[in-house]
Structure 1
């Protein structure tokens, strides 16, 4: 390969054509066609929501589940179902989407951010232990990028301290931890059908549980706490709950997507594994690959690499720009900063400029003093590489070649 970077006039490393990807087809269309013939598009007793539930159970065993309007909504429902007193703390990851913490804040609870493992990018169980206080009531591990969290360690901590566990599986469709699907380890689990996830209906989610303490109330927490199974007393809510229902059109597309999930995940796993194998065969001084336990299945929502910037004559952003010039689908980092560094956390501006919990003396949390050094380092030195079924084995091979080319050019 010509070592001259494409940025400097050399040939691109990634030249394979990218096939146009169309995610929806006959499976979704047939269900949408049937849906148009229905007398009602309401979720309760709707055939599309019922089909979605049946398809989901082929992926992850769930005694109780509730389709929701988004993955964020599913997480809010899960948090609400715990019925924790105001000021209770839930430990979660600082490298995640806001959707992981919105429900915590709206339920007048306190997100506590624990640091992550430097190469799995998931919660570090030892730091979770350090963050536990007398107010801790739950842990919310996030299976970031499709790499399963260390659920044995997390569940051990939960048992020792009598804590609940909510799994955030939004990025981890099809991932397996010790041979079991993610989502089947904690007390509750949530998945996302957002546009950018493995499977999508534009937006939507599912919350599930096998715990009889929470299962019978899941639908209520997503539906204004109405009891749709009681025709005589449906509108008689005994708790405050939002409207997070999924409609039948959304469910029709989501159910169609789930019929294709095994093939979709197989593509993600094949492409991600091939990319890592290709990277491992090359001498890449200063580049760290994600750590994956061989007993688990990483479902590769994307691939996150780390750079030891002291070993390069460039910044992280310059490295990413060089990869893009080579034709690689690469972006610098993941989210721009840890969640606790977002302005609303730094200003404690959660409710019209106020945080009632602090003002009522129910928490002393000050997010301006929170520090998760590993998270901050990962977000400062990482590179994201795209993985999706619209790519090919040839593109993965050439992407690995592009990483090697850029690495050797900038290596000190």
Structure 2
């Protein structure tokens, strides 16, 4: 499998400049300033705070909403734990909604079914870089007066109706984790254009200190999620490469879909024609009724033929993780439930489509170093395995 050279001269140049600085602290540091400038060139969001991780960015966003204990946030059943950690730490309640079968994103119809009097926010996750149906989700949010946090961790460079994802909701969160499109090892960023959320955004990730006035007399409780100047230096350099990285991944993913179209036994990811999928990975589903092998056997056959893949994505929907099944969030306790502020029982939650996706999907590796010839070879192997496995 071709592998990209992810870091090089651009990162070294910024790091070399960084080591001559008198301080590596983020506040108004030259590397952090450069990072925010590069980010805003691509995402016109006025208020930005760089964080130590994408998970931290999401926690800051949740904290900025000032949720009360027992308030509910609707999230997709297939996502990373980072999407829900901040919700739980703020004593709010993740409410899992089902997914659309071919986009793997929040199903607006099921979101509506999950709304209660305690619902305060939605968290669409643009899974693998495929934009959610933001038109439908924002309409729901307006109708029910809900805040929207876009989890863009897997969706650098993705576009909804021609606009970068992250510009439709109230807050947008990004990740610079080592495995994302652009990376500084670990890091994140949370941003908004809303004055009432943005003016205090930095406080929620910086112990509620007021860096503008120099105040170290916090009014509220907030964690320390600051990014450092070395991280910012690498992340700023990485963002200068974003357009080419996404263009290559989009070309590879689109070509793979074109090459696999019509192959018996395969269900391919669906992308709206006006949207741009940035393909953090490529998830296809198997039509088990048309194939004589299991999902794991299909994936093993691909692996044996040299295709980089894994059976499924995450092992099970998030609500079926042991921590949720046992409500073991704080040393064996869940205070909001024990205090009667929620009746949520994750042992009773079911999202049938999400469960089906994780049972019959195969995740194919996509990266920006893959040329057309390589993608065509992968597609040929997938078609051959499907043909051999047909009933």
Superposed pair shares fold, TM > 0.5:
yes
SS at match of 1:159: helix
Distance in 2 (CA, whole Å) between partners of 1:330 and 1:85 is: 42
Q: 1:358 maps to what in 2?
A: 337
CA offsets 1:32-78 (integer angstroms, 9 cap, x no match): 00000000000011010010000001111111000000000000000
Distance in 1 (CA, whole Å) between partners of 2:310 and 2:382 is: 12
TM-score under structure 2 length normalisation: 0.99
Q: How does 1:85-124 map to 2 (within 5 A)?
A: 85-124=68-107
Misfit runs of 4+, over 6 Å: none
Q: Contact 2:3–2:367 at 8 Å: present in 1 too?
A: no
1:63 to 34, 46, 57: 46
Q: How does 1:137-216 map to 2 (within 5 A)?
A: 137-216=120-199
Q: 2:286 maps to what in 1?
A: 307
Distance in 1 (CA, whole Å) between partners of 2:22 and 2:373 is: 48
Distance in 1 (CA, whole Å) between partners of 2:301 and 2:380 is: 13
CA offsets 1:109-132 (integer angstroms, 9 cap, x no match): 000000000000000000000000
Q: Contact 2:183–2:235 at 8 Å: present in 1 too?
A: yes
Distance in 2 (CA, whole Å) between partners of 1:93 and 1:245 is: 27
| Structure 1 residue 392 displacement after superposition | 2.1
CA offsets 1:157-213 (integer angstroms, 9 cap, x no match): 000000000000000000000111100000001000000000000000000000111
Q: How does 1:247-266 map to 2 (within 5 A)?
A: 247-266=228-247
Structure 1 segments unaligned to the other structure (5+ residues): 1-17
Q: 2:371 maps to what in 1?
A: 392
Q: 1:229 maps to what in 2?
A: 212
Distance in 1 (CA, whole Å) between partners of 2:205 and 2:91 is: 17
Q: 1:82 maps to what in 2?
A: 65
SS at match of 1:112: strand
SS at match of 1:214: helix
Q: Contact 2:245–2:368 at 8 Å: present in 1 too?
A: yes
TM-score under structure 1 length normalisation: 0.94
CA offsets 1:272-303 (integer angstroms, 9 cap, x no match): 111111112xx411210001000100111111
Q: How does 1:259-338 map to 2 (within 5 A)?
A: 259-280=240-261, 283-338=262-317
Q: 2:360 maps to what in 1?
A: 381
Q: How does 1:28-67 map to 2 (within 5 A)?
A: 28-67=11-50
| Structure 1 residue 391 displacement after superposition | 2.1
| Matching of residue 127 in structure 1 with residue 106 in structure 2 | no
SS at match of 2:78: coil
Distance in 2 (CA, whole Å) between partners of 1:321 and 1:328 is: 9
CA offsets 1:76-101 (integer angstroms, 9 cap, x no match): 00000000111000001010000000
Q: 1:7 maps to what in 2?
A: none
Q: 1:411 maps to what in 2?
A: 390
| Matching of residue 220 in structure 1 with residue 199 in structure 2 | no
| Matching of residue 242 in structure 1 with residue 223 in structure 2 | yes
SS at match of 2:11: helix
Q: Contact 2:182–2:242 at 8 Å: present in 1 too?
A: yes
| Structure 1 residue 28 displacement after superposition | 0.7
Structure 2 segments unaligned to the other structure (5+ residues): none
Q: Contact 2:54–2:173 at 8 Å: present in 1 too?
A: yes
